[in-house]
Amino acid sequence: RALVVPGGIWQRLDVVGETGSTNADAARAALDGVAEGLVVVAEQQVSGRGRRDRQWVSPARAGLTLSVVFRPGVAVAEKDWPAAPQRTWGWLPLLAGVALREAVQRVAEVDAGLKWPNDLLVKVDTAWGKAAGILAEVSGDAVVVGIGLNVSTRAEELPETNGLPATSLLLSGAKSTDRDPLLRALLRSFGQWYAGWREAGGDAEMCGLLAAYREGCATIGREVRVLLPDGGELVGTATDIDSDGQLIVRAVSGSERRVSAGDVLHVR
Ligand code: BTN
């Protein structure tokens, strides 16, 4: 199929037929010293990884399955990019979500929302379902961000989930389910947001990322039940996202708590 010509920050686009996990492939390339801006796209991924040791199942050619390599801690003199401090790197999967939402809304013309921290939701009739997941992993001084988007997946091909029902762009009434325009739009938006975030030294507020995330976030204003790794459960209303990308939850008692993406097992 026709290849996307990467531009901007994208240095190289590898399209592979079948692989275990594009995140694993990108992480290996990162350890081997590949430059920032590598994109690995797979036609079929047979052992896709999800968050919290879950699997990510995607039927061949029905989705977009890709991973990218960033080196946010490395200053780039010719672009005037300072190093982004490590505490800001948690924004990268959220940034990917913002870019993915823009691409899906533009190309597929469906309404999409972000479930904090990084699931992409689309509407099937009136109910939200999960159409994409994002997994960021640190590999040496690189961050690999992987995206799995169900594009033309049919209902009977969707994996069982125990949380939000899985869905696809096709099932949400997408105007187009061509993967190449989606990939192009995604890489364009992703590259632009990344460049802006790097210019701002990883400051999500300064580059407008926090505002864009807030705007796209379907979790804010909703009742949430957050399962914490210490076994605790936090029930309340999600009121906002703070400048570190944490979710602010107001408990029924009125007390406020901030939860970070790494500290939650589950949000409902
Ligand atoms: C989740 O929702 O749990 C995250 C799913 C992330 C799946 C993508 S598909 C491309 C990349 N390679 C992987 O092995 N996982 C990510």
Peptide bond into 117 cis (omega under 30): yes
**C-alpha 52 to ligand 1 mean position (Å):** 11
Residues touching ligand 1 (Cβ under 6 Å) are 21-23, 48-51, 54, 56, 65-67, 119, 133-135, 146-148
Q: Looking at the CA of residue 132, tell me the nearest atom of ligand 1.
A: 2
**C-alpha 77 to ligand 1 mean position (Å):** 32
Q: Looking at the CA of residue 48, tell me the nearest atom of ligand 1.
A: 14
Q: Looking at the CA of residue 54, tell me the nearest atom of ligand 1.
A: 3
Residues 17, 43: contact at Cβ < 8 Å?
Answer: yes
Residues 93, 184 within the same domain: yes
Amino acid, res. 87: R
Q: Which domain CATH number covers 82? A: 3.30.930.10
pLDDT of 187 over the 60 cut? yes
Q: Looking at the CA of residue 50, tell me the nearest atom of ligand 1.
A: 3
Residues 139, 258 within the same domain: no
**ipTM of this complex prediction, to 2 decimal places:** 0.99
**C-alpha 100 to ligand 1 mean position (Å):** 14
Distance CA 237, CA 196 (A): 31
- Tell me the pLDDT band of 265, cut-offs 50, 70 and 90: low
* Strand order across the 12-19 sheet: 12-19, 38-45, 63-70, 142-150, 127-139, 119-124, 112-115
Residues 27, 101 within the same domain: yes
Give the chain's mean pLDDT: 93
Residue 4 maps to a domain = no
User: Residue with the nearest Cα to atom 7 of ligand 1?
Assistant: 148
Residues 56, 182 within the same domain: yes
Residue 3 maps to a domain = no
Residues 208, 228 within the same domain: no
**C-alpha 47 to ligand 1 mean position (Å):** 10
Amino acid, res. 28: R
Q: The domain containing residue 193 runs over which residues?
A: 12-216
pLDDT of 161 over the 80 cut? no
Q: What single string gives the DSSP state of each residue in 9-45?
A: T--EEEEEEEES-HHHHHHHHHHTTPPTTEEEEEEEE
For ligand 1, mutation pick of 18, 56, 92 (most atoms within 8 Å of CB): 56
- Tell me the pLDDT band of 3, cut-offs 50, 70 and 90: low
Residues 258, 137 within the same domain: no
What would the pLDDT profile of 59-97 be if each residue is shown by its tens digit? 888 999 999 999 999 999 999 999 999 999 999 999 999
Q: What single string gives the DSSP state of each residue in 207-226?
A: TTHHHHHHHHBSSTTSEEEE
Rg (CA), the chain: 18
Amino acid, res. 66: L
* Beta-strand relationship, 55-56 and 48-49: antiparallel
User: Residue with the nearest Cα to atom 16 of ligand 1?
Assistant: 146
Residues 214, 233: contact at Cβ < 8 Å?
Answer: no
* Beta-strand relationship, 12-19 and 38-45: parallel
pLDDT value of residue 150? 97
Residues 177, 238 within the same domain: no
Q: Looking at the CA of residue 130, tell me the nearest atom of ligand 1.
A: 2
- Tell me the pLDDT band of 29, cut-offs 50, 70 and 90: very high
**SS3 of residue 198 by DSSP:** helix
Residue 187 maps to a domain = yes
Instruction: Average the pLDDT over 15-36 and give the result.
Output: 97
Residue that wins the pLDDT comparison between 98 and 229: 98
Residue 166 maps to a domain = yes
**C-alpha 200 to ligand 1 mean position (Å):** 27
Residue 255 maps to a domain = yes
Residues 169, 245 within the same domain: no
Q: Which domain CATH number covers 247? A: 2.30.30.100
Residue 59 maps to a domain = yes
Residues 30, 87 within the same domain: yes
Residue 208 maps to a domain = yes
pLDDT of 1 over the 60 cut? no
Instruction: Average the pLDDT over 169-195 and give the result.
Output: 96
Residues 212, 250 within the same domain: no
pLDDT of 5 over the 90 cut? no
Distance CA 258, CA 86 (A): 19
Q: How many domains does the chain have?
A: 2
pLDDT of 162 over the 70 cut? no
Residues 144, 85 within the same domain: yes
